[in-house]
Amino acid sequence: MLTSEQRTKLDETSDTLFYEYPRFVTHVDQAFIAQLTSLYSELLKPEMRVLDLMSSWVSHLPEDMAFTEVQGHGLNGAELAKNPRLDSFFVQNLNQNPILPVSDRYFDAVLNTVSVQYLQNPERVFAEILRVLKPGGVAIISFSNRMFYQKAIQAWRDSTDLHRVSLVKSYFQATPGFSEPQVMSRQGKASGIWQMLQGAESNSDPFYGVIAYRN
C-alpha cells in the first residue's frame, strides 16, 4: 500500500524518545474539538466499550455520555494518567509493535484523533482495529492539517488535505472486513463523496473524519 520511502520520517529516532516528556497542550482549535465531540455524540452510544487509540491527556468524548469502559493507549504515561475519561491505559509504540494487547471483538468503538499521520505500518494497525472491534463496531479516524512535521510519514507530509483523506480511506479499504469508509465534513454531513469545507471561520482548523464499521 505504501512504498518504503513513503513510510519514512524526517526524524527517524524512536517515537518513544520523542514522546518521553508530556505535552499538556491542545493540538487543534476549539472549532475542531467541537466538531469531533458532536461526531462522537452522533455515532457513539452509552454503555459502549471504547478504545481511544494514540490518545493523550484529553479524549473529547461527550461529557454527558457514560460508557461501560474507556481504555486508552499512547506513548506517554503521564498524559494518559491525566485523562479523566480513561478507566485504564497502556503505553506502546505501534510503529515497533502494532499488536494490541486486547481480546478479539472486545470494543464497540475505536477512536484515533490527530495521530494517524504517524503510523508507518497503517495496514497492520488497521487490521488490529478490525480484530478488536465487535461486529457492527465503529472506527472513527479524525485529523486536521496540523502535525509534528518531522514525525509524520512522507506519504502524509507530501500530500494535500484531499489526498490525506483518500489515504485514510485506503487504509480501511485495504483491510477486508470494514464497510466502505465515509467522510465527515465540518458541517456534519456524512458522505462517501469528499467535500472541501472550511467551516464558519476561514482561519479555523479544517476537520476531517473518516468512519467505517466492522461488517
Looking at the predicted structure, is the pLDDT value of residue 196 above 90?
no
* pTM of the shown model: 0.90
**pLDDT tens track for 119-175:** 999 999 999 999 999 999 999 999 999 899 999 999 999 999 999 999 999 999 999
DSSP 90: E
Rounded Cα distance, 142 and 109, in Å: 13
**pLDDT tens track for 65-102:** 999 999 999 999 999 999 999 999 999 999 999 999 99
CB 69 within 8 A of CB 87: yes
CA–centroid distance for 61 within its chain:
13
Pick the CATH number of 5-213 from 3.50.50.60, 3.40.50.170, 3.40.50.150, 1.10.3720.10: 3.40.50.150
C-alpha torsion sign, points 86, 53, 191, 206: positive
Any idea where the domains of the chain sit in the sequence? 5-213
CA atoms within 13 A on the CB side of 6: 12
